[in-house]
Amino acid sequence: MRAIDHLATTPWIHDHALSKRVVDAVSGGVVRFINGEILTLAESRRLVGVEYLKTLPYVDAERIGSDGKSFGGFLTLYALIHAPDVFRCGVAGSGPTDWSYYDTIYTERYMNTPAANPEGYAASELVSRAGDIGAAPLIIHGLADTNVHLKNSVAFIQALEKADKPFLFVPLPGEDHHYEGDGLATALSQSTAYSGGRWGNNSPRRNIRRPREVTAMSEGIGDRYLRETKYHPERMLGRDLDWAAKPSAYKEYPSSRRVELPAPVPRREADLHRVLLARSSVRDYSGEPLSLADLSYLLWACAGIRRVAQGYAFRTSPSAGALYPIETYAVANNVRGLEPGLYHYAVRAHALEELRLGDLRLETARAALYQGICADAAAVLVWTAVFERSKWKYEQRGYRYVFMDAGHMCENLYLVATGQGLGVCAVGALFDDELNALLGVDGVEESAIYMAAVGHPLRKGKE
């Protein structure tokens, strides 16, 4: 491979990339200056470090970071900008961020002068690309650095601030390019704490005390998700949808026994304003069975079809893009006319599909963090998400909509149940794997995300 040849034959690369620590060598593969040329990430990523590291049994491919000082600091920032999906965190110590800031002899040996090689300098410059950074970096710089001037980190930090990108900066007072003593101790402890913070509680270093500012600045997976799935007015180019690959909005169990549900009609009319005033989460149930008619109306009210128009079957709850990623299951504990067990709501047929019979009260309560309401309620609805339905159109941003959709469905359930004199309690505290196992879904393509207990409320004084 071309770049491996470079690697073997260019002593400069050996000095400046491979002799560093392993993680640094990984980022060392990301970019190299060779006669003013920059090897792009796409060319070089496949050949060095990362791909190899990923093959090792003790390496978590999702948690690869880069840590480097001086040239390694530059490489780290470069990696976070150009390979945000590969490098999940980075510690950049005293790195150049624009080679035109750096001393002439060193840089010009490889890069020529800025006047003679404007493209090389522009392509390697990081400041103007700070807004593209993935993970929030930890930047460390000696305030008395006469080699890589502080200006490099400051210019980059200013650009990060302008782009509203999180970062952590640890200045080392009195230190030059070679940290020593207290400065070195600070740099090492801060970078250790930083990676501990980045990897969360699963980090093998979780016992290390984190300095206050690291805790405040450390970014979790949720923060990153929100940041990386933002819409930006300047980046809304759109994308052609592959209509042939559009996932079906209906899951069905053709080999299951079907239980027809009565037509979904309310037992009584309800005034919306009164319902809003009366709605509250109900956790005490009378033990009276739910009628099949009530269950039918509740299922329809949160997940049923209300109108078919222009080829779309619109449902009672709104859904982003009318993609309807949520499936509804019902655990019948005490429903008149229905054997206790687990059922799936077949939306198109407005019917239940029998998945498993038996008393599932204990199992359901256990999957809901042992919340007794799931055993006491006459029925428990469980909502799963079939993520691909949303991701087909919205990609990673689709996860946001999936959870919103489930929220709308549960609110419909709350309101309609209240109007019918029934009680509901939403349940978000659940053991995902246990609940998925109960439903028989894989937890990847389809995963349980939300539940609700339903039953007749226990009227005060009627215990």
CA distance 66 to 90: 5
| Nearest-approach distance from CB 96 to ligand FMN, in angstroms | 48
Binding mask 343-382 for ligand FMN (x = CB under 6 A): ----------------------------x-----------
User: Cα 64 to the chain's mean position, in Å?
Assistant: 17
> Strand 64-69 relative to strand 87-93: parallel, antiparallel, unpaired?
parallel
CB 139 within 8 A of CB 158: no
> Strand 258-260 relative to strand 351-357: parallel, antiparallel, unpaired?
antiparallel
End-to-end CA distance of the chain: 78
Rg (CA), the chain: 29
**Nearest residue (beta carbon) to ligand FMN:** 428
CA distance 367 to 344: 17
Span from 46-54, 71-79, 186-194, 419-427 in contact with ligand FMN (CB under 6 A): 419-427
280 binds ligand FMN (CB under 6 A): yes
| Nearest-approach distance from CB 367 to ligand FMN, in angstroms | 11
278 binds ligand FMN (CB under 6 A): no
| Nearest-approach distance from CB 201 to ligand FMN, in angstroms | 21
Binding mask 130-159 for ligand FMN (x = CB under 6 A): ------------------------------
Give the nearer residue to ligand FMN in terms of CB position, either 152 or 371: 371
CA distance 241 to 392: 8
Span from 94-102, 144-152, 420-428, 440-448 in contact with ligand FMN (CB under 6 A): 420-428
Please report, as a single letter, which amino acid is at residue 362.
L
CA distance 364 to 435: 7
DSSP 202: G
Lookup result for tokens 């779309």: 312
Span from 95-103, 280-288, 305-313, 380-388 in contact with ligand FMN (CB under 6 A): 280-288
Scan residues 421-460 and list those touching ligand FMN (CB under 6 A): 425-429
Instruction: Return the number of other C-beta atoms located less than 10 Å from residue 76's C-beta.
Output: 30
Give the nearer residue to ligand FMN in terms of CB position, either 128 or 280: 280
Give the nearer residue to ligand FMN in terms of CB position, either 84 or 421: 421
215 binds ligand FMN (CB under 6 A): no
Q: Which of 281, 312, 348, 459 binds ligand FMN (CB under 6 A)?
A: 281
> Tokens representing 189?
């402890």
| Nearest-approach distance from CB 283 to ligand FMN, in angstroms | 6
Nearest to 291 by CA among 257, 265, 256: 265
What does each C-alpha distance from 70 to 105, 352, 432 come to in angstroms?
16, 64, 45
Output the CA torsion sign for 350, 355, 358, 360: negative
Give the nearer residue to ligand FMN in terms of CB position, either 111 or 425: 425
Scan residues 28-57 and list those touching ligand FMN (CB under 6 A): none
The site that binds ligand FMN (CB under 6 A) totals a number of residues, namely 9
- Residues near ligand FMN, by CB under 6 A: 280-281, 283, 371, 425-429
